[in-house]
């Protein structure tokens, strides 16, 4: 009984035990804490025994179709705690498929037969000299050039960061709506100790802004963008370099959270980042497949 796997509805979850599990688990992430999940999704969980291990399951529902979809601003919903045995993994798969008609979900488990590996780029934040020795020559040059004109301003208010991001990349992230950004800003305000927000400045002008979430020995790069002038000044490179300098040799990891855009991925790799892949699991119950075009158009894309 103590090692039973149970599908647990949100109202039955003991959040204290849940958060204690994340605190004590190496594979827990800041976005798996209950307060982070609660901000961006409705969620249930599968829990092993008395919170020996667990996985959060973000729920979406429309037209009576229940879906397991990855929420915005939550990169992964990990299995937290000791990884399951083969038998336990099959039981987890069965429980999930019994509850959800559609799955499109990022995690550290191979939950469906239709999975693909997604890149996640991370960098151990060592001493600055050691970090810099692994930078590409062009990056070193850009940071050195930027340091002659740029400074850093730490500021908790993230609305300017979000505004700059939307101005720079809004056409590329149309799935992110006004409400999503507002939820992020509210969370960063309420849990300000778990976020780092910086503006790169040239004199009185903001040339780039970057927002990070920090927890579980990781600094997650949530979003960032330069102005037109900031691109010329290499302000994003400079901002990231100052984060690495500030947190150097403190047993932390900078988690770039990967990108499917080659130029962005190459930028992260120029810092010497290494790949820590995760799984994107997909599934559609056969009876639902004829409706998927309409479902994607009116549900997932809105």
Helical spans, DSSP H, in the chain: 15-24, 34-40, 86-99, 128-132, 137-146, 159-169, 178-190, 228-233, 235-246, 262-269, 292-295
Regarding whether 156 and 40 lie in a shared domain, the answer is: no
Q: What is the number of residues in the chain?
A: 302
Q: Which CATH number covers residue 241?
A: 3.40.630.30
* Range of the structural domain that residue 182 is part of: 121-275
Query: Cα(80)–Cα(29) distance, rounded to whole angstroms?
Result: 9
pTM for the complete prediction? 0.92
Regarding whether 295 and 260 lie in a shared domain, the answer is: no
Q: What does the pLDDT average to over 260-277?
A: 92
Regarding whether 133 and 52 lie in a shared domain, the answer is: no
Regarding whether 241 and 166 lie in a shared domain, the answer is: yes
Regarding whether 177 and 106 lie in a shared domain, the answer is: no
Contact 57, 74 (CB under 8 A): no
pLDDT of amino acid 28: 93
Contact 284, 102 (CB under 8 A): yes
Q: Which CATH number covers residue 40?
A: 3.40.630
The tokens for 289 are: 């497949």
Regarding whether 263 and 182 lie in a shared domain, the answer is: yes
* pLDDT over threshold 50, residue 1: no
pLDDT of amino acid 156: 81
Regarding whether 44 and 150 lie in a shared domain, the answer is: no
Taking CA 260 as the corner, what is the angle to CA 78 and CA 140, rounded to the nearest 5 degrees? 105
- Give the confidence band of 258 by pLDDT, cuts at 50, 70, 90: confident
pLDDT digits (tens, 9 = 90+) for 27-47: 999 999 999 999 999 999 999
pLDDT digits (tens, 9 = 90+) for 64-107: 789 999 999 999 999 999 999 999 999 999 999 999 999 999 99
Regarding whether 25 and 94 lie in a shared domain, the answer is: yes
Structural domains in the chain (count): 2
Query: Cα(281)–Cα(279) distance, rounded to whole angstroms?
Result: 6
Regarding whether 158 and 93 lie in a shared domain, the answer is: no
Regarding whether 42 and 87 lie in a shared domain, the answer is: yes
Q: Which residues pair with 270 in a beta bridge?
A: none
Per the prediction, the chain carries an average pLDDT of 92
Regarding whether 71 and 60 lie in a shared domain, the answer is: yes
Q: What does the pLDDT average to over 208-234?
A: 96
Of 87, 91, 1, give the one whose Cα is nearest residue 46: 91
- Give the confidence band of 293 by pLDDT, cuts at 50, 70, 90: low
Regarding whether 231 and 220 lie in a shared domain, the answer is: yes
């Amino acid at each position: 009984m103590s090692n039973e796997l149970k599908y647990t509805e949100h109202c039955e979850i003991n959040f204290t035990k849940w958060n204690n599990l994340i605190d004590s688990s190496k594979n827990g992430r800041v976005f798996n804490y209950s307060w982070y999940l609660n901000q961006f999704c409705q969620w249930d969980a599968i829990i092993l025994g008395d919170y020996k291990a667990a996985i959060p399951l973000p729920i979406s529902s429309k037209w009576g179709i229940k879906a397991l979809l990855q929420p915005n601003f939550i990169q992964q919903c990990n299995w937290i705690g000791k990884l399951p045995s083969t038998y336990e993994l099959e039981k987890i798969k069965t429980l999930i498929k019994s509850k959800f008609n559609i799955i499109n979900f990022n995690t550290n488990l191979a939950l469906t037969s239709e999975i693909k590996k997604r890149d996640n780029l991370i960098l151990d934040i060592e001493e600055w000299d050691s970090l810099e020795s692994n930078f590409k020559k062009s990056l070193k040059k850009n940071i050195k050039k930027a340091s002659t004109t740029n400074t850093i301003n730490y500021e908790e208010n993230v609305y300017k960061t979000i505004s700059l991001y939307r101005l720079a990349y809004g056409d590329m992230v149309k799935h992110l709506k006004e409400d999503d950004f507002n939820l992020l800003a509210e969370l960063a305000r309420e849990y300000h100790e778990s976020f780092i927000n910086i503006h790169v400045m040239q004199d009185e002008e903001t040339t780039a802004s970057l927002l990070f979430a920090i927890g579980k020995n990781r600094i997650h790069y949530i979003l960032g963008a330069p102005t037109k002038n900031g691109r010329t000044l290499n302000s994003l490179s400079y901002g990231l370099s100052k984060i690495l300098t500030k947190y150097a040799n403190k047993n932390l990891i900078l988690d770039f959270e990967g990108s499917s855009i080659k130029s962005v991925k190459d930028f992260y790799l120029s810092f010497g980042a290494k790949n820590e892949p995760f799984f994107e699991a997909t599934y559609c119950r056969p009876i639902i497949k004829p409706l998927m075009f309409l479902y994607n158009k009116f549900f997932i894309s809105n």
